[in-house]
Structures are given as C-alpha cells and as structure tokens.
C-alpha cells in the first residue's frame, strides 16, 4: 500500500460539504473518491483533515488515501486532475509514511473569512465574500478578536448540540485586514476548531462591527460558555480553509504559497 | 427627461455580452433595460460606453439612460439593484447633463486581463483568469508590451473583418504585474480600442511569454498591419473592463476605487 497526501483546492459553492453522504449529494470527498476509482479501480474513502460544511471553500484542504496501486505522485496528480470536475483540483500530491493520517496528524489550520463591506453587493465577490452593506467598525472588531486569541473554553462558539469531550481550544492568530467600506478578511489560525467555531466567531465579530455588542463583551461571552449568547453563525460562502500544517512538511507545499490571496 | 449615468459591475460568465440581441439571449443591456422598465414603466435601450463580448466582465462599465420619470438617483439605484440579477449591479448612479453620451464622451478606458500561471487549474480563478500552465517569461512579455504603448496603427490587432475608418489608436499604458508561476495581470489603458484589440494584444504577449515569438518582433507586427501575423485572441474570461473616464467625473465615482483588485 502507498499512502498519498493530497492538497486540495475547491470552490465550495456547488458542493454539499466535504463528507460523503447517503443519496445523490455532491460532496468533495465523494468526487475525489470517484476520481481515484476511475484512475486506479480502487474504491477508497479519502481521509480529510476535517469536514468543511456545505458552501465552504478550500485553498489548502489536506487528505490522504491509501492505495494498492503504486503510481508516481506526479502521474497520479495529473491523472486525477484530468478527471476531477472544474471546481475541484489537486494542487499537490506526495507519497508519505504509511502511518500519516491527515486528520489525526494535523497540527494547525488556517481559515480565512472574507467580507465585502461595500455599499452594494458585488457580482465578482458573490461566491467568495459575505456582503455586509453597513459600514463596519473595524477597530472594534480587531479589539474583540484579540480577546479570543489564546487557549479558552470556546463552548459559546460551538454549534449547538455538539458533544465533544472538551470545548477548550487554542486560537494562535485572529487578525483582520482590509478597510471598512471595502474588502475585509479575518484570518483565524489554531490547533483545532469546534464545529461552526470560525463562523460563530465571525458572526460575533460582525455584531461588534455593527454596534450590536461591545468589543469588551467578548470576555464575558467566553466565560458564559453558552452558545445562545454569541452571535449568529456567519454564512458559509465567506469561509475558506487556507492551509493545514503537519510536523512533516508536504514536499510540494511551496506551491501553496504564491496562491494565497 | 432626466439623463442618468450608471457605473455597472457584472460577472460576464453567464451573459452573452453587452449588446441586446434578437431572440432569447441574455445580455447585460437587455437585463438592465428590463430592470429599468420594471421600475419606471419606460422601455429604453441603455447606451453603454462600448460593447463587451460574451464572457467578458466589468467592474466599471458606464452607461446612460434618458427617462421621463424623475427619480432621485439614490432611489433609482436602490430600486434597480433590488430587481437586477445577482451577476449585475449598479455601483453608482447620478444625474448628468442631457447631452452626456456614455459612448461618445468616453475619453479613455482601462481593461485588466488576468492570467493564472500556476501549475494546475485553479477552481477559484476559473471564472476570472485564463489558465496558462506553462511558466511564462514575464520580462519578455513586459518588453513586448512596451513596444505597443503609444499611437500606432493597430490593424494587426483588430478582429478580422472589421470595417472601421481608421485602425490608429493610442495605448497610454500597457503594464504587467505579478510573477511567473502565480497570478499575472496586464492593465491596458487607451482612448479607444478596436474590436478584440485587447484580447489580441494579450494573445500575442502570451506567445512571447511562451517563447513562440520574440519581444522584439512586436514592432514588425505593428508595421505589418496584418491580423494574420498577430497572436490568437485570448479567451474572454480573463478580460475585465475596469473603468471608463470622462471629462465630467461621476459624482459617485470615488466608490469605484476601493473596489479595484
């Protein structure tokens, strides 16, 4: 068996998320499994670093697949890209040790959330940005963001109904860039995320930016450990999984760099 | 009658160009005329600064419409944007002198052509960039571009079969930005363009960048005045009309600035 690691880019608009589902739903995992089967004849379930929800994009999702076929990585990548649909591509592919597991071995992930704060909706940004017409108080959002950096119990920011062992997570970076009235992005980096955590953080920051809660209220919100007190879940189209980091660097990982927006 | 000037953004992917056509074809001009009729009851043909071809985008197309209805510009803009399809928006709208003509009075236009020069197609850039996998010689392209700046007979770069009085045009700027292996854009600015001229220029630069012609050959190409000697017409999805300038500035034109990519 050869264990292959893949770095994936996809436009999430027309996918019902990462995870294969029963029925006819179009998922990233399912499309990738179909392509692998078409090339190698083997039916395997690609193991992703984590699920992305319906409509969420990726520029650097990572997955691994174990195959009996022993193809040169460059050959396998070329063959997969020739049959994958246009909204999904393998940006890099390499052979990794047999015990490499894209989910379990992920050390950190970086997400980007894109907001279009112009006065009118923007056709060019409709698939990638959340449109917020009201002028945002970017400085207040930045202050609120800083209160979330560090190791905290993020129970207030996890999807309701979640049942994980612990909701303590470490956010190593949460930083906004851009300008009110134009494009604003928030980069969120951490060792692991609860379900909907990034979108719930952004939803809360958006309430701060629109004056519906103060930047100083975020500490109390963390302490409350109550999902009902945080902001709405920001819509999926603004979210993109930018990269996943591992102790062992992907051989072709430099390819991901000129790509970041 | 009130003469309104509109600044338009559209994702050209699903339009068959600017100009209304007979039959069921979906055009920018037709969608805009439908929206104006729905709001005012008046059927008028919006007068664009120029046609954009099928698949070509705009971030700053300009048009004017003369209406009997006298609506406040902000009110008309809001009403139009509420009924326009999601791939077309009015970014700015103001009342202008009755003799203003978006086509005739245009002093200069700026286009951007976007190229994705990464090793693999990019789902996020599929609608906006031409994918060129072969590593481009960007410096050679820049040198060739400089030979085209100025007032020249661009007969070699106009669509075959064109019958304009003169093919002499002035290109005031033709500049590449970016890096081989990543995103590359060419900004082209001039007082007027022949049909397909920007796409034929880019097609020729791409041949230079791929070593199929030398950067020094462009002067001879201009002198030849022969469409058959220039490069292919670059595909439409990479092209975007960024702005049109007039002697009278649009009142709301500052809105177009934070928008440029």
The secondary structure of A130-174 as a DSSP string is EE--SPP-HHHHHHHHHHH-EEEE-GGGSPTT---S--EEEEEEE
**Which residue in the set B11, B118, B126 is minimally distant from A124, CB to CB?**
B11
Instruction: Give the bridge partners for B171, in sequence order.
Output: B150, B190
Calculate what percentage of chain A has a pLDDT beyond 70.
Answer: 95
pLDDT computed for residue A118 by the predictor: 96
Average confidence (pLDDT) over A164-170:
92
Residue A130 burial (C-beta neighbours within 10 Å; 0-12, 13-18, 19+): buried
Please indicate whether, in this complex, the C-beta atoms of B258 and A183 are within 8 angstroms of each other.
Answer: yes
How far is it, in rounded angstroms, from Cα B219 to Cα B216? Answer: 7
Residue count of chain B: 261
Of B119, B123, B181, the CB nearest to A11: B123
Q: In Å, how far are A160, B153, B165, B203 from B229, measured between CA atoms?
A: 65, 14, 21, 12
A11 interaction partners in chain B (CB closer than 8 Å):
123-124, 126
Instruction: Quote the minimal CA–CA distance from A183 to chain B in Å.
Output: 8
Q: In the prediction, which pLDDT does B249 show? A: 66
From chain A, pick out residues whose CB is under 8 angstroms from the CB of B118.
255, 258-259
Q: What's the token pair of residue B28?
A: 């920018």
Percent of chain B with pLDDT over 70: 95
Chain A residues near residue B255 by CB distance under 8 angstroms: 118-119
Query: What distance lies between CA B128 and its chain's CA centroid?
Result: 13
The two three-digit tokens of residue B219, written as one number: 């002067």
Are A5 and A62 within 8 A, CB to CB?
yes
Token representation of residue A230: 């945080």
Residue A37 CB neighbours (<10 A): 13
Taking the CB of residue A18, how many other CB atoms lie within 10 A of it?
Answer: 26
pLDDT in tens, chain B (261 residues): 999 999 999 999 999 999 987 778 999 999 999 999 999 999 999 999 999 999 999 999 999 999 998 899 999 999 999 999 999 999 999 999 999 999 999 999 999 999 999 999 999 999 999 999 999 999 999 999 999 999 999 999 998 877 788 999 999 999 999 999 999 999 999 999 999 999 999 999 999 999 999 999 999 999 999 888 888 999 999 999 999 999 866 544 444 444 333
The dihedrals phi and psi of A119, each to the nearest 5 degrees, come to -75, -20
> How many beta carbons lie within 10 A of that of residue B172, not counting itself?
13
Residue A22 above 90 pLDDT?
Answer: no
Contacts of B178 (CB under 8 A, 6+ apart): B115, B117, B138, B184, B185
CA distance B259 to chain A (A): 7
Residues of B with CB under 8 A from a CB of A: 9-11, 57, 59, 77, 81, 86-91, 118-124, 126, 128, 179, 181-183, 255, 258-259
Instruction: Kindly report, residue by residue over A49-106, the tens digit of the pLDDT.
Output: 999 999 999 999 999 999 998 899 999 999 999 999 999 999 999 999 999 999 999 9
Residue A53 annotated in active site? yes
Chain B CA closest to residue A90:
B120
Distance from CA of B235 to the nearest CA of A (A): 17
Q: Is the pLDDT of residue A255 over 70?
A: no
Q: Rounded CA gap, A197 and A94, in Å?
A: 30
Do residues A137 and A209 touch, judged by C-beta distance below 8 A?
yes
Distance CA A198, CA A192 (A): 10
- CB within 8 Å: A9 and B81: no
Closest CA to B259 of B58, B39, B5: B58
- Give per-residue burial for A228-252: e unless 16+ CB within 10 Å, then b: ebbbebbebbbbbbbbbbbeeebeb
Round to whole Å and give the CA distance between A250 and A242: 15
Q: Is the CB of residue B196 less than 8 Å from the CB of residue B111? A: no
**Of B11, B53, B245, B253, which one is the catalytic site residue?**
B53
The angle at the Cα of A112, spanning A254 to A94, to the nearest 5 degrees, equals 30
Residues of B in contact with A258 (CB under 8 A): 118, 179, 181-183
C-alpha distances in angstroms, A82 versus A78, A86, A259, B69?
6, 9, 21, 55
Per the DSSP assignment, residues forming a β-bridge with A10 are A58, A88
SS3 per-residue string spanning chain B: CEEEEEEEEECHHHCCCCCCCCCCCCCHHHHHHHHHHHHHCCCCCCEECCCCCCCCEEEEEEEEEEECCCCCHHHHHHHHHHHCCCCEEEEEEEEECCCCCCCCCCCEEEEEEEEECCCCCCHHHCCCCEECCCCCCHHHHHHHHHHHCEEEECHHHCCCCCCCCCCEEEEEEEEEEECCCCEEEEEEEECCCCCCHHHHHHHHHHHHHCCCCCHHHHHHHHHHCCHHHCCCCCCHHHEEEEEEECCCCCCCHHHHCCCCC
Q: What is the pTM of this model?
A: 0.91
pLDDT at position A2 over 50: yes
Pair of tokens at residue A28 = 């990233």
Task: Please answer whether residues B191 and B173 qualify as being in contact, where contact means their C-beta atoms are separated by less than 8 angstroms.
Answer: no
Q: What is the per-residue pLDDT for B257?
A: 40
User: What's residue A258's pLDDT?
Assistant: 40
pLDDT band, residue A143 (cuts 50/70/90) = very high
Helix axes A28-40, A73-83, angle to 10 degrees: 120
CB proximity list for A30: less than 8 A, separation 6 or greater: A20, A21
Interface predicted TM-score (ipTM) over 0.90: no
Best A86, A112, A114, A120 member to test B by mutation, with max B CBs in 10 Å, is: A120
How many CB atoms neighbour CB A185 within 10 A? 16
* Residue of chain B whose alpha carbon sits nearest to that of A57: B124
Question: At residue A226, does pLDDT exceed 60?
Answer: yes
Look at A9 and B118 and tell me if their CB atoms are within 8 Å. Answer: no
Residue A46 vs residue A250, higher pLDDT: A46
What is the b/e burial string over B43-70, where b = at least 16 CB atoms within 10 angstroms of the residue's CB? Answer: eeebbbbbbbbbbbbbbbbbbbbebeee
* Cβ–Cβ < 8 Å for B25, B82: no
Contact B124 A57 (CB under 8 A): yes
* Residue B250: predicted pLDDT: 55
Which residues, other chains included, contact A107 with Cβ-Cβ below 8 Å and sequence gap of 6+?
A: A191, A245, A246, A247
SS3 A198: helix
- Encoding tokens for residue B178? 């970016």
């Amino acid at each position: 068996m050869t264990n292959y690691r893949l770095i994936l880019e996809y436009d999430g608009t027309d996918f019902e998320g990462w995870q294969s589902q029963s029925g006819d739903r179009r998922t990233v995992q399912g499309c990738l499994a179909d392509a692998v089967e078409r090339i190698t004849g083997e039916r395997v379930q690609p193991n992703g670093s984590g699920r992305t929800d319906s409509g969420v994009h990726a520029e650097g999702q990572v997955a691994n697949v174990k195959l009996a076929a022993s193809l040169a990585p460059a050959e396998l990548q070329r063959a997969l890209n020739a049959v994958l649909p246009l909204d999904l591509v393998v940006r890099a592919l390499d052979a990794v040790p047999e015990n490499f597991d894209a989910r379990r071995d992920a050390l950190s992930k970086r997400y980007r959330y894109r907001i279009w704060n112009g006065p009118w909706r923007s056709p060019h940004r409709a698939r990638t940005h959340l449109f917020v017409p009201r002028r945002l108080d970017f400085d207040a959002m930045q202050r609120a963001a800083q209160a979330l950096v560090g190791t905290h119990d993020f129970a207030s920011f996890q999807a309701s109904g979640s049942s994980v062992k612990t909701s303590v997570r470490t956010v190593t970076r949460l930083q906004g860039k851009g300008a009110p009235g134009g494009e604003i992005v928030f980069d969120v980096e951490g060792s692991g995320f609860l379900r909907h955590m990034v979108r719930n953080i952004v939803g809360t920051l958006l309430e701060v930016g629109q004056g519906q809660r103060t930047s100083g209220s975020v500490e109390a919100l963390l302490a409350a450990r109550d999902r009902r007190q945080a902001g709405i879940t920001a819509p999926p189209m603004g979210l993109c999984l930018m990269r996943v980091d591992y102790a062992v660097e992907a051989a072709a990982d430099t390819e991901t760099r000129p790509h970041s927006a």
